[in-house]
Homo-oligomer: A and B are copies of this chain.
Amino acid sequence: MSIRLGRHTIEFSSKPKILATHSIVGPKEGRGKYKEYYDDILKDDTNGKNSYEKAESSLILRAIEKTIAKAKLLESDIDYIFAGDLLNQLTSTNFAMREVDIPFFGLYGACSTMSESISLAAMIMDGNHAQYVLAGTSSHFSSAERQFRFPLEYGSQRVLTSQWTVTGSGIILLGKNGDKKLPSITQITTGKVKDYEIKDANNMGIAMVPAAANTILNHFLETGKKADYYDYILTGDLGKYGKEVLIELLKEDGIDISKNYIDCGDEIFNECEENICAGGSGCGCSAVVLTGYIYKSLLKGDFKKILLVSTGALLSTTSSLQGETIPGIAHAVAIEMI
């Protein structure tokens, strides 16, 4: 039986294991500091497709197929898949899903989708409703840029707080079986929508900070853990400015994450790349860092305990045009070698 530690946090007695992952990224991500950890690095970010949306769809489909194959399973062994992406009506996920024969739950949590999908997959596993569940997400710079901002052909100028949407997809497979020592999902802390009335759509990292701070604070309050319990605390895509603000905000609550905190968006690109500005963003950002660098480092024994806090900015182009501020959400997932 799992234990509810507080209003936002559940501890899983069954500790679902991550049996396999697959990470696939675009060329720019493939030149970043985590390059040796990705499974697939595209030479061409269209992946041979005739639109960026179809390219993104092909990434998530490939990540699903490769994850299942790595675990030596068949599609028919998988009970459910939880997935979503940034595109209107989950275009890339839904079109990938028609190619696979797996019961499917579509999610939208903006860039929080990786930890949202893992949270739900882990609860379903822990409740004995499934043997094998897939969870994951994707994003693509070019499909996101032209949907949320400007046509790519404009070559519009970027400001210092802009972030570069990650091209990539990460999928994990949760299961119970296997004697092998594998990373497990031990706790989840589910987020609430927080809006501190930031309106600047070119500064989404900052807009997501209150949601991240709230979820991390709830996690430590409800679990009784200290920040140094984890080898790393990772946020999704607050970027280099959001990261600094998060550290300060949590300090006010008596939580010092400055020594073991990294933001996936701040780390994912090589700093000498053009136009990265405040770092990476997108659902794919924390997805490929988790399924690449983190998962493989946990397997190698480089570290043992991490807290993944994927962060989503819940704006739409319509809401921005109607003068609305930017709400955010963040879900935390504790992953440990136990």
List residues of A whose CB falls within 8 A of some B CB: 1-2, 4, 7-8, 10, 51, 53-54, 76, 79-80, 84, 86-91, 94-95, 97-98, 100-110, 116, 119-120, 123-124, 126-130, 147, 190-195, 314-319, 322, 324, 327, 329
Contact = CB atoms under 8 A, between A and B. Distances in A.
Contact of A51 (B98, B314, B322): B322
A4 B132 CA distance: 13
Contact of A194 (B8, B98, B194, B324): B98
Contact of A103 (B7, B89, B90): B7
B7 A318 contact: no
A106 B107 contact: yes
A335 to B, nearest CB: 18
Given A95-B319, A318-B88, A101 B53 contact: no
B108 A116 contact: no
A212 to B, nearest CB: 15
B98 A195 contact: yes
Contact of A94 (B98, B128, B129, B193): B193
Nearest to A86: B89
A91 B318 contact: yes
Contact of A192 (B90, B102, B109, B128): B102
A89 B88 contact: yes
Contacts of A109: 105-106
Which 3 A-B residue pairings sit nearest by Cβ, starting from the closest?
A127-B127, A103-B190, A89-B316
Given A88-B317, A89-B110, A190 B80 contact: yes
Number of copies: 2
B104 A191 contact: yes
Contacts of A124: 123, 127
B123 A87 contact: no
Nearest to A107: B107
A105 B89 contact: no
Contact of A88 (B88, B101, B116, B126): B88
A28 B54 CA distance: 39
A192 B97 contact: yes
Given A91-B319, A192-B101, A324-B95, A7 B107 contact: no
Nearest to A116: B105
B129 A128 contact: no
A76 B10 CA distance: 16
A191 B94 CA distance: 12
A116 B194 CA distance: 24
5 contacts: A84-B108, A91-B319, A123-B124, A123-B127, A127-B128
Contacts of A127: 2, 123-124, 126-129
A237 to B, nearest CB: 16
